[in-house]
């Protein structure tokens, strides 16, 4: 598996391609790309059969280790690839350590060990244990074990520890990777730690360089502790870190972020040179019964950035979630019906919203790639930013109503 940057692309934003997959040589995926976030290999609310109704294009499933830990003995006995084990052999797979849709607990650090909070409690992973799992899973790509436990509030001492630990774990994992027959074609993504301290980020990148030839991509780790709050991170705060990391990596390396970044911030990250994302934002949206419907095309107009189907005003609204959307949910069901399903706590409500959100996010990434090709990503950013501001105004108004400062 390899990553190549389109030579016609500028450094940022840029187009690239992932291809030469070991058992799927016919697959080729363009970047910027979004991985399909899963828990235990399943997209929340969406079965593999339903996924085929959403898209027939090749996809990469993002499988968090934290959601697979309890299956490791079964996978060892199964002795096949994780894509087959989870019942989706047509998809490619990427193993990550944490689940970006859930907040990762802070603290509990130990030298050369990373705490993973599984269903059965805390498990301390060292490089040997982690790489043994990766060898059993046989994914197409994976992120090395790291200490990404930093955020904008982290003190310098914690940041220094995160860098030291991440560099040490990377070296240990790479040593095992180099010797592994099973993993010799597997795509390696190394985490860059260092919180919001530019000096620490630079130090981490410099210390990773000796293993650069074994690393095909880098993850800008340690920007947050996952969960829904990522949606509200201000891009101005992360931009200096992202710019420093992107500018100091070899241009032929893939750059990834994880987390439920808002679509507006995704455009800004793409403009800074980030190639790889995930759909954990779709899960966050669906959990709050929201469907994303902002307009992407210049001539398109949308009533809102997102709509919350639990609101009583949708009870007698017989339009689809988004008029003109070709997803299975919009083709067959109305807002009123989905509102009813949510009201009676019927699971199909969340299934239909998730189908639309995933379909829409895949369309959003196609649009981003088209805009890079056509040189008009700024227009898309302006269009999304205008609608995002309206969402924020609505949210502020709702908060004022809740706080009693607006006369209802």
- 2-5 β-sheet, strand order: 2-5, 16-21, 24-31
Cα Dmax for the chain: 68
Nearer to Zn ion, 75 or 361 (CB): 361
- The distance of closest approach from Cβ of residue 320 to Zn ion in the complex, given in angstroms and rounded to an integer, is 7
The H or E element containing residue 317 is none
Helix, strand, or coil (residue 122) = strand
- Under the binding rule (CB under 5 A), the answer on residue 296 touching Zn ion is no
Feature table: binding site for Zn(2+): 325, 327, 330, 356
Q: Closest CB to Zn ion among 327 and 384?
A: 327
**Can you tell me which residue has the tokens 């992407």?**
296
Nearest-angstrom CA–CA distance, 227 and 56: 29
> How far is Cα 318 from Cα 248, in angstroms, rounded to an integer?
52
Distances, alpha carbon 118 to alpha carbons 71, 150, 230, in Å? 11, 20, 21
Q: Write the interaction track for Zn ion spanning residues 355-384; mark x where CB under 5 A is met and - where it is not.
A: -x----------------------------
CB closer to Zn ion out of 145 and 296 = 296
Gap between the Cα atoms of 340 and 349, Å rounded: 8
Nearer to Zn ion, 142 or 333 (CB): 333
* Pair 250, 72: CB distance under 8 Å: no
Q: How far is the CB of 329 from Zn ion (least distance, A)?
A: 5
Give min distance, CB of 356 to Zn ion, in A. 4
- Looking at residues 318 to 357 of the shown chain, list those that interact with Zn ion (rule: CB under 5 A): 325, 327, 330, 356
Nearest approach, Cβ of residue 364 and Zn ion (Å): 12
CA distances from 141 to 36, 49, 77, 190 (A): 13, 23, 21, 11
Element (H, E) at 348: helix 348-374
Instruction: Name the residue nearer to Zn ion (CB basis): 298 or 332.
Output: 332
Q: Which is nearer to Zn ion, 95 or 330 (CB)?
A: 330
Q: In angstroms, what is the minimal distance from the CB of 55 to Zn ion?
A: 12
> Judged by CB, which is closer to Zn ion: 330, or 351?
330
Min. distance of Cβ 228 from Zn ion in angstroms?
22
Give least dist CB 208 to Zn ion, A: 41
The C-alpha angle 106, 120, 70, rounded to 5 degrees, equals 110
Binding-site residues from annotation: 325, 327, 330, 356
Lookup: tokens for 230: 């990522």
| Three-state secondary-structure class, residue 144 | coil
Number of residues that bind Zn ion (CB under 5 A): 4
Q: Is the peptide bond prior to 32 cis by the omega test (within 30 degrees of 0)?
A: yes
Interface residue list for Zn ion (CB under 5 A) = 325, 327, 330, 356
């Amino acid at each position: 598996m390899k990553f190549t940057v389109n030579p016609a692309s500028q450094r940022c934003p840029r187009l690239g391609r992932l291809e030469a997959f070991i058992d799927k040589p016919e697959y080729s995926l363009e970047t910027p790309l979004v991985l399909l976030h899963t828990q235990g290999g399943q997209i929340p609310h969406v079965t593999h059969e339903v996924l085929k109704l959403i898209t027939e294009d090749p996809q990469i499933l993002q499988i968090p280790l934290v959601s697979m830990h309890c299956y490791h003995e079964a996978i060892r006995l199964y002795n096949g690839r994780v894509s087959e084990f989870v019942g989706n052999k047509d998809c490619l797979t990427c193993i990550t350590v944490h689940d970006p849709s859930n907040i990762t607990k802070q603290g509990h650090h130990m030298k050369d060990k990373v705490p993973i909070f599984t269903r059965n409690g805390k498990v301390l992973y060292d490089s040997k244990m982690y790489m043994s799992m990766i060898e059993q899973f046989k994914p197409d790509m994976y992120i090395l074990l790291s200490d990404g436990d930093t955020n904008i509030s982290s003190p310098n001492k914690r940041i220094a520890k995160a860098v030291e630990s991440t560099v040490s774990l990377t070296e240990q994992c790479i040593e095992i990777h180099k010797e592994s027959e099973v993993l010799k074609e597997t795509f390696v993504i190394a985490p860059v730690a260092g919180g919001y301290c530019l000096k620490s980020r630079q130090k981490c990148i410099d210390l990773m360089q000796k293993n650069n030839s074994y690393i095909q991509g880098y993850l800008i780790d340690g920007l947050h502790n996952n969960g829904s709050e990522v949606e509200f991170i201000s891009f101005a705060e992360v931009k200096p870190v992202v710019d420093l990391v992107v500018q100091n990596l070899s241009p032929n390396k893939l750059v990834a972020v994880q987390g439920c970044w808002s679509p507006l911030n995704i455009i800004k990250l793409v403009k800074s040179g980030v190639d790889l994302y995930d759909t954990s934002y779709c899960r966050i949206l669906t959990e709050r019964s929201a469907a994303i419907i902002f307009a992407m095309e210049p001539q398109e107009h949308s009533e809102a950035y997102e709509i919350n189907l639990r609101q009583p005003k949708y009870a007698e609204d017989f339009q689809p979630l988004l008029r003109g959307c070709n997803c299975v949910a919009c083709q067959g069901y109305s807002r009123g019906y989905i509102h009813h399903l949510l009201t009676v706590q019927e699971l199909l409500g969340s299934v239909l919203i998730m189908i639309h959100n995933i379909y829409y996010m895949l369309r959003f990434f196609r649009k981003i790639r088209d805009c890079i090709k056509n040189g008009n990503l700024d227009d898309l950013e302006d269009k999304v930013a205008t609608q995002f501001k309206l969402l924020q105004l609505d949210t502020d108004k709702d908060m004022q109503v809740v706080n009693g400062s607006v006369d209802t």
